[in-house]
Amino acid sequence: MISPLITPDSPLGRLRRRQRAIVAQRAADRAESAGLTQAEEALLREILSEPMDYIDSPEFRKANAERTIYEKAPVIERPDVSWYRPLLDSLVPGDRSRNRSGRSGGSVLLTGAQERVLFLQYNYARFRIARIQDRLAGSLPDLATAREILRWYHVAKRYREQLAETNLALVLAMAKRTRMSEVDFADLISEGNMALMRSVDKFDCGRGFKFSTYACRAIIKAFSRQGMKLSKYRQRFPSEFDPQFEKSNHLETVRATDEKDSAAEVRHVVLSNRCDLTEIERTVIFHRFGLDHDPDRPALTLDQVGQIIGLTKERVRQIQNKALEKIRLALEELRADPPRPSQN
């Protein structure tokens, strides 16, 4: 355990952090030559880089503490958390898969004695890792010590997950009880889950209280902090998010303007007959593209134009293509030699 007089930012604290980083790197190098996998090497480096925190208990220093805490303790069932889907439609009110308490049939409600057993098992595993770190004191662990560290780490991780999974219903209950209109429900659940994990790490079962008493207050405080952060953000940025402000319509505006100008130019070329269309070609173009009547009325099809002028559909298509080619050439000519402004 670190003395309260030695803070992480003090010179001695920074020196110890550097020493731990060096030890962790050397331990990883030795583990690599000793036969550990790459994943185990990375995990060992991470464990040794920081001192292991734990909640101490007099039970850890008794004779045969490991056997008493693990072998003689009753086996506690691990809960089924498949029901915990707070962001899905399966948790709507009236869902028959859940009872009135908000728990599924597979969840486990622990007694105070069972909670004490699990927390002792969890913290004893962390206690053993901390003792190994103190014993190493800058030296490199051998293969047996490295594997012992990894074994105790996995034991602690398993009991941590079990404690968190057993109390997941607390997060959902607190989120529904303190539902804030300005905070998204998913954000509340996320903050509550992180507060629950921190509570598992910091809870002292030796004081005789139930874990829910400690965790519920921590979860509510996390919700309050989330609401305060959102309030400060809205005070700093009072305008609501508007997707229209994030997207510019400049390209669409330029494109629409260009299309309108081009259509007006083509209409002028056809109506003034600058492309030297024949009478039959003018008739086909007028009927096909609605230049001779109200623009709100639909243009005629090739077959309809053919019935008006007494030609087949294929012949009308050929006349249309020839007329369009003349219009294209006239437009290219016009754009290559634009009219000059008159000088007075």
Q: What per-residue confidence (pLDDT) applies to 66?
A: 92
| Residues in contact with 256: Cβ distance below 8 Å, sequence separation at least 6, in sequence order | none
Q: Are 231 and 203 in contact (CB under 8 A)?
A: no
At the second CATH level, the architecture of 260-336 is: Orthogonal Bundle (1.10)
pLDDT digits (tens, 9 = 90+) for 167-226: 998 998 888 887 676 777 888 888 999 999 999 999 999 998 999 999 999 999 998 888
For the chain, give me the number of helices (H) and strands (E)?
Answer: 13, 0
Domain 11-236 has CATH 1.20.120: yes
Q: Is the pLDDT of residue 74 over 80?
A: yes
Q: What per-residue confidence (pLDDT) applies to 341?
A: 55
pLDDT band at 88 (very low <50, low <70, confident <90, very high): low
Q: Are 187 and 226 in contact (CB under 8 A)?
A: yes
Q: What per-residue confidence (pLDDT) applies to 3?
A: 47
Domain ranges for the chain: 11-236, 260-336
Q: Residue 242: which H helix or E strand, with range?
A: none
pLDDT digits (tens, 9 = 90+) for 30-50: 555 457 888 888 898 889 888
φ, ψ at 206 (rounded to 5°): -70, -10
pTM of the model: 0.57
HEC per residue, 189-230: HHHHHHHHHHHHHHCCHHHCCCHHHHHHHHHHHHHHHHHHHH
pLDDT band at 338 (very low <50, low <70, confident <90, very high): low
Average pLDDT over residues 329-341: 72
pLDDT digits (tens, 9 = 90+) for 279-303: 888 888 888 877 765 566 677 888 8
Distance CA 309, CA 293 (A): 17
Q: Percentage of residues in the chain with pLDDT exceeding 70?
A: 77
Whole-number CA gyration radius for the chain: 39
| Residues in contact with 17: Cβ distance below 8 Å, sequence separation at least 6, in sequence order | 8
